[in-house]
Homo-oligomer: A and B are copies of this chain.
């Protein structure tokens, strides 16, 4: 499994729109069976800092996601809503994993 975290700061006046945009995009992201998690989180204590917890079956699934029309369309929507570019971390498991 490949976990990915995407941390983003949303413009203060656009958080509701951002959450709706993620909810709207989510089903299409999960259509690809290789995308096993695409869960939005907000950082505790913040109104504008969010993290998407993502998980992919393998590198191919991650590449498919990154080149999908849905992902690109979501990127376009995000441009107006975020205060800066997301910080994406692609993670490699080290040692025993629960998931």
A residues adjacent to B (C-beta < 8 A): 3, 5, 7, 19, 22-23, 26, 30, 36-45, 49-51, 53, 55, 89-99
Sampled A-B contacts (27; CB under 8 Å): A3-B39, A3-B41, A22-B94, A23-B95, A23-B96, A30-B98, A37-B98, A37-B99, A39-B99, A40-B95, A41-B91, A41-B92, A41-B93, A41-B94, A42-B91, A43-B89, A43-B90, A43-B91, A43-B92, A44-B89, A44-B91, A45-B90, A49-B89, A50-B94, A51-B91, A53-B91, A99-B99
* Tally of this chain's copies: 2
Give Cα A97–Cα B97 distance, bound, in whole angstroms.
Answer: 20
